[in-house]
């Protein structure tokens, strides 16, 4: 009898130890997502033809997330994240590569970036005089 009681007590304590934390977290709130170790980074990049974003319809839009791992519908999320980290999230710091020759044809394309980069809100817009000029900036971030 004493052994049975001891076993029952042990089982009870084990059940509390195992299930307690689960119940606790389930009751902690409707927000089940744990606080992230990383400042959030989640971006949407769009491409449109025209002068200003508000006057144009985006022809392409991709998502890019860089933490904890590179992901998104961006065709080369890994390189895009490396490039973005390289300029500290400052899109204006992306410079044109040397040796790229483009015509002066004016057929403007607009790239917009919205969302969050390392916890800071981003709302960026940049107009390039044509696709070739856009392609000359950076290597992969704007190549979507």
Residues of the shown chain interacting with a second copy in the complex, contacts defined by CB under 8 A: 29-31, 33, 35-36, 40-46, 53-54, 57-65, 71-73, 75, 114-116, 119-121, 123, 131-132, 135, 143-144
The residues pairing with 126 across neighbouring beta strands, listed in sequence order, are 111
Cα–Cα distance between 41 and 118 in angstroms, integer? 5
Cα–Cα distance between 120 and 142 in angstroms, integer? 20
Q: Closest distance between a second copy and the C-beta of residue 9, in Å?
A: 37
Q: Closest distance between a second copy and the C-beta of residue 62, in Å?
A: 6
Q: Coil, helix or strand for 95?
A: coil
Which CB atom, from 14 or from 52, has the smaller least distance to a second copy?
52
Which CB atom, from 3 or from 30, has the smaller least distance to a second copy?
30
Q: Closest distance between a second copy and the C-beta of residue 55, in Å?
A: 11
Which structure tokens are listed for 143?
């190549």
């Amino acid at each position: 009898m004493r052994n049975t009681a001891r076993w029952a007590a042990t089982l009870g304590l084990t059940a509390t130890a195992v299930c307690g934390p689960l119940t606790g977290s389930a009751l902690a709130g409707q927000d089940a997502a744990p606080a992230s170790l990383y400042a959030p980074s989640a971006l949407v990049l769009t491409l449109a033809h025209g002068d200003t974003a508000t006057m144009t319809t985006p022809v392409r839009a991709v998502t890019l997330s860089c933490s904890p791992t590179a992901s998104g519908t961006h065709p080369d999320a890994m390189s895009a994240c490396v490039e973005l980290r390289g300029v500290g999230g400052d899109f204006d710091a992306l410079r044109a590569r040397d040796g790229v020759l483009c015509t002066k044809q004016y057929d403007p394309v607009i790239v917009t970036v919205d969302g969050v980069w390392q916890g800071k809100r981003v709302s960026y817009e940049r107009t390039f005089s044509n696709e070739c000029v856009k392609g000359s900036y950076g290597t992969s971030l704007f190549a979507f």
